Structure 1
Amino acid sequence: MILDWLKRVLGHKPKGTPTRPRLAKLLATADVLDDLMAALIRSQRQRHEGIVYLLGRTDGDVTLAVAVFAPEALTTSGSFHVPTRSMVSCMQTAARFELQVVAQVHTHPGQAYHSDGDVEGAKIRYPGYVSLVLPEYGQHLPSLAGAAAYLWQKPYGWIELSDDDIIIIPGSGPWTSNSFTAD
């Protein structure tokens, strides 16, 4: 018992315990960034935090965002609240198109980081779910300059994504008819 306590205190991990997170990526289409920018215009003008959700698919490590859902929300210059009915509508919309709610995107008045309130307020947490925080009320969109991105992975919780972990796919993506050319 004392040996187990010492191992925990000194940081020794039992065999088979992962020592670092698996590869994690967020992929989003350029159209998603454009839609994100449009969805946040009202909150930017009000100088309020904005909130949107991204719909797509994830395998727990790689998350692909293909659509934006802007919920009805109560916002202030430093906070937001999404009522249950708005969250239900978001989930129903995702299900209608066989998608998942894969990310929460919200803005901060200054720099982007995961505040204690953000960690507590991120009610959706499953492997591959992303929390993206945009600085200065998202004014830099469609650029993600200064953004802070986190992906939920078990057993680690929120892991921070680097700029290299976020990939923007030009246009809508290869799955749309307007992306194809005739041979």
Structure 2
Amino acid sequence: MSFSIARTMRRLLAPDHRLSCASHLWNRLLADLRERGGNRRESGAFLLGTTDGNRRHIMHYVLYDDLDPHSLDTGIVTLDGQYYGKLWTICRELRRGVVADVHTHPGSSHQSQSDSEHPMISVAGHVSLIIPNFARAPVSRDDIGIYEYRHDGGWNSISACNRKRFLHIGW
């Protein structure tokens, strides 16, 4: 039997969440996104972790430019498909899967046409997060764009009033 106090506490404190991340990991991710983007270009990462039904728990991340050194060169994220093999190798080594992706925008967290038409992972249920203002502090969960890929190739946008229930940052 597998028992986890942290998992039990998460379910008690945030019973409806679909995506969760420990606050120390989330803060480190935001700092890395800020650093990699240099406050002048987009940056991003694949979020790795575990899935339990519809619930996803972020436990690691892989920054796009650690996979593809040229992914941030144009100012927007452009990941060469040949580097996905490296991502899958990391997932196997860590025994984790991709539970979401995240990238920054210079202004708002609205999904661009390019984001919509070119998902990083095009599997129904995949979650994409967009952090506004190149992840400059403070980052409010209310300002994070949350998008879920649909079976028909479109996206569901998680409304501002549902973001706290969808994304849990804490335990």
Q: Is TM > 0.5 for Structure 1 vs Structure 2?
A: yes
Q: Residues 38 and 60 of structure 1: is their aligned pair in 2 closer, same or farther, counting only changes over 3 Å? A: same
Deviation at 1:143, TM superposition (A): 3.9
Query: Which residue identity lines up with residue 146 of structure 2 in the other structure?
Result: A
Question: What is the SS of the residue equivalent to 1:109?
Answer: coil
Q: What TM-score, normalized to structure 2?
A: 0.73
Q: Tell me if 1:137 matches 2:130.
A: no
Alignment counterpart, residue 62 of structure 1, candidates 48, 52, 55: 55
Tell which deviates more after alignment, 93-102 or 66-75. 66-75
Q: 1:120 to 1:75 in 2, by over 3 A?
A: farther
Q: Does 1:71 align with 2:68?
A: no
Trace 1:163-182 onto structure 2 (pairs within 5 A).
163=163, 164-170=165-171
| Alpha carbons 1:134, 1:144 under 8 Å: kept | no
In 1: Cα distance, 2:80 partner to 2:45 partner: 13
- 1:112 is matched by which residue type in structure 2? S
Contact 2:42 2:72 in 1 (8 A): no
Residues 42 and 25 (structure 1), Cα distance of their counterparts in 2 relative to 1, 3 Å cut: same
Q: Does 1:109 align with 2:106?
A: yes
- Counterpart Cα distance in 1 of 2:51 and 2:74: 31
- State the distance in 2 between where 1:159 and 1:30 align: 25
Distance 1:60 1:130, change over 3 A: farther
Percentage identity across paired residues of the two chains: 25
Residues 43 and 64 in structure 2, CA contact (< 8 A), matched pair in contact too: no
Distance in 2, matches of 1:42 and 1:127, equals 31
Higher fraction of helix: 2
Q: Distance in 2 between matches of 1:121 and 1:60?
A: 26
Once the two structures are superposed, the pairs formed by residues 83-102 of structure 1 within 5 Å of their partners are 83-102=80-99
C-alpha distance in 2 between matches for 1:65 and 1:106: 15
Is 1:51 the counterpart of 2:44? The answer is: yes
Q: Secondary structure at the match of 2:100?
A: strand
CA RMSD, 1 decimal: 2.4
Gapped regions of structure 1 (runs ≥ 5)? 1-22, 171-183
Aligned to 1:25: 18
Q: Shift of the alpha carbon at 1:139? A: 0.9
Shift of 1:128: 3.4
For normalisation by structure 1, the TM-score amounts to 0.69
**d(CA) in 1 for partners of 2:53 and 2:157?**
15
Q: 2:11 — aligned with what?
A: none
Shift of 1:133: 0.4
Cα deviation for residue 108 of structure 1 reads: 0.6
